[in-house]
Amino acid sequence: MSKKKLSLATYIFIGLLIGIVLGFLMKQLPSGTFRDTILVGGIIKFIGNGFINLIKMIVVPLVFCSLSYAVCDMSDFKKLGRISFKTITFYLATTALAVTIATILGLVLKPGAGLDLSQLIQGDYDISNSKPIVDMLLEILPTNPIKAMAEGNLLQIIVFALFFGVSVALIGEKGKILVNILDALNECVLKIVTMVMYVAPIGVCALIANTVYSVGLESLVSVAKMIGVVAIGMLIHSFVVYSGLLKVFTGLPVRKFLKEYSTVATVTFTTSSSNASLPVSMEAMEKLGVDKSVYSFTLPLGATINMDGTAIMQGVAAVFIAQVYGMDMSIQMILSVILTAVLASIGTAGAPGVGMITLAMVLESAGLPVDGIALIIGFDRILDMMRTTVNVMGDCVCSVIVADSEKELDREKYINC
Ligand code: ASP
């Protein structure tokens, strides 16, 4: 499975390289019907925009299915009361903090400054008429969920999915059939994601060719800067936020945790999947003295709903895309990015590449051009390796803290490991 993914990632990277060369070559061609109408305005446009359309196509079903399924699945743990409350609070609070740090870093370090892609904007992205906060909040509540889906209004879809998931859980036995259907739909949507990703190499090739043709190489320098800002955000989150929380709540040496987590990190790095890393993260928790009753709950839940690394990538990416498209981000847009990235984190399945798809939802809800994903997607494997490592680290830190607070941590074992 991971082998297949790796080779797809390689193909995407090759597509990216070919696209860069193609963009240069297209620049050298004399202007005329062949270059302008057939190549750039025809073939390249069809492949590039077709790929973006396919990505957009999956967003609504993906968000609805994975979010409502995550919520109704979570209900199994309801009886765990206190533990689930602590765990969910930890997951949501740290994700909100992660995307806030990322957004601030993006605004301060400006990775997109110096690159101007505003001429490439397709579609309507009018941010001039920002609304009062109360109207913005009211618009989150759907009056008609079907209309919300048809229009791709993601915040409204999220609200409806949350209601739906909770209700499925609350009706108990009768809801079982819906849980199974949502489970199957979820798998089905993830299959579509896999299929769409198979055309990613040529999609990425066309999109980057168009960018290099229109703007030149500075676009790639900016993406490298963006990846650097994402890395800084992840380092701060791992070594300041997570390590700080671990120290403050347990008083235990962080060093021991990091030593044990380094083994898990090699797996998160190579698989880019929170789900696939579960067996090793469980083993690490065992070695650190966390009781099975705690980690068997906190880790699978975390792999489903806790994606701080993904939120960091999405926060920086949103600000980056706004900058390269010459858009000033209003407070409402920033709040919208933070809110949607937290919800997207719940809706992102712990599998490779999913965070890039839910980025489309974060961008759309903030009124930013989804086309901006084209700049980043060719480098997603690198971003995915980093963000999955942070995602799983959050799950593990939470497990230790919750276990300690419940007196389910063998502190001797932790110290001597
Ligand atoms: N690969 C990530 C994970 O499994 C999800 C993502 O694509 O952001 O945690």
Residue in this structure with the two tokens 């980043």, named with its chain if needed: 376
Least confident stretch, 135-139, 176-180, 238-242, 277-281: 135-139
Which residues are CB-neighbours of 117 under 8 A, at least 6 positions away?
A: 211, 214, 215, 219, 324, 325, 326, 372, 375
Q: Give residue ranges with CB within 6 A of ligand 1.
A: 272-274, 307, 310, 348, 350-355, 384, 387-388, 391
- What is the pTM (predicted TM-score) of this model? 0.73
Q: Which residue has the higher pLDDT, 223 or 251?
A: 251
Q: What CA–CA distances, in Å, run from 308 to 98, 139, 142, 352?
A: 6, 26, 27, 15
Q: Which two tokens stand for residue 58?
A: 């999956």
Average pLDDT of every residue of the chain: 85
Q: What is the dihedral of CA 143, 149, 153, 155, to 10 degrees?
A: 70
Kindly provide the b/e burial profile for residues 107-135, where b requires at least 16 CB atoms within 10 angstroms of the residue's own CB: eebebbeebebeebeeeebeeeeeeeeee
* Protein residue with least CA distance to atom 8, ligand 1: 355
Q: Which residue has the higher pLDDT, 348 or 342?
A: 342
pLDDT tens string 282-294: 889 989 999 887 8
Q: Which of 193, 277, 304, 310 should be mutated for ligand 1, with most atoms under 8 A from CB? A: 310
pLDDT tens string 66-86: 778 877 765 555 545 677 789
Closest CA to 233 of 315, 300, 151: 315
Q: Which two tokens stand for residue 48?
A: 């590039």
Ligand 1, atom nearest to 349 Cα: 5
pLDDT tens string 20-76: 899 989 988 888 888 888 989 999 999 988 887 887 787 788 778 877 887 776 555
DSSP H or E run through 206: helix 200-214
